[in-house]
Amino acid sequence: MLIAPLPNPDPFRSIEYRGFSAVCFGYSIQPAVLNVVTNHQSHLMSLMPRHSHELGYRRPGLCIPAEMDDKAESNYLSSWLFTHWKQPDVESVPLLLLADGNDDSLNLPFKKWLGEYRPDVLIGLDYLGRKMRDLGLSIPDQRPSAPVISNPVTVR
């Protein structure tokens, strides 16, 4: 049985899995009742500052939903903060933790954060591109050199 990432894992917590070979993709089911297969979030986040620097960006900005980091047992945030602590010469802007990456009411804090800190690269997931389009911002036309890095080697 393969359990994909779930927006609402509640029904899956009560299933008796003993008779199955089962694995969960990601951290949707908490507390973990199955073995988990996922990308290596902390390694991913430790690569981001170096990767963005190699691409010529000097002010990376991390913007992720708090819920996403919570589900990943703080792997994203802890690695990002540790990487910057270990490399104090790497400039970054204050990170932005959104209460919910899909909530339109957070467009104002996101737009304010962009204007105030002006990251030259945004690090997050695909929702960032959608959020920028929702605000009428284009990538990179109105954000000089600000693609969204959604995976270690994918730049938009």
Tell me the C-alpha distance between 45 and 53, whole Å: 13
pTM (2 decimals)? 0.67
CATH number of 41-155: 3.40.50.2300, 3.30.420.10, 1.10.10.1110, 1.10.10.10?
3.40.50.2300
Helices of type H across the chain: 10-13, 41-54, 66-71, 75-86, 107-117, 127-134
Length of the chain: 156
| pLDDT for position 141 | 46
Residue 104 has what pLDDT? 63
pLDDT at 105: 59
Q: What is the pLDDT of residue 106?
A: 63
Contact 122, 142 (CB under 8 A): no
Q: Is 142 helix (H, G, I), strand (E, B) or coil?
A: coil
Model pLDDT, residue 49 = 79
CB atoms within 10 A of CB 43: 11
Q: Are strands 121-123 and 23-25 parallel, antiparallel or unpaired?
A: unpaired
Encoded amino acid at 7, one letter: P
- The residues spanned by each domain of the chain are 1-38, 41-155
Phi and psi at residue 35, in whole multiples of 5°? -65, 150
Mean pLDDT by 10 residues, the chain (156 residues): 78 82 79 76 80 83 84 86 82 81 67 86 77 72 43 33
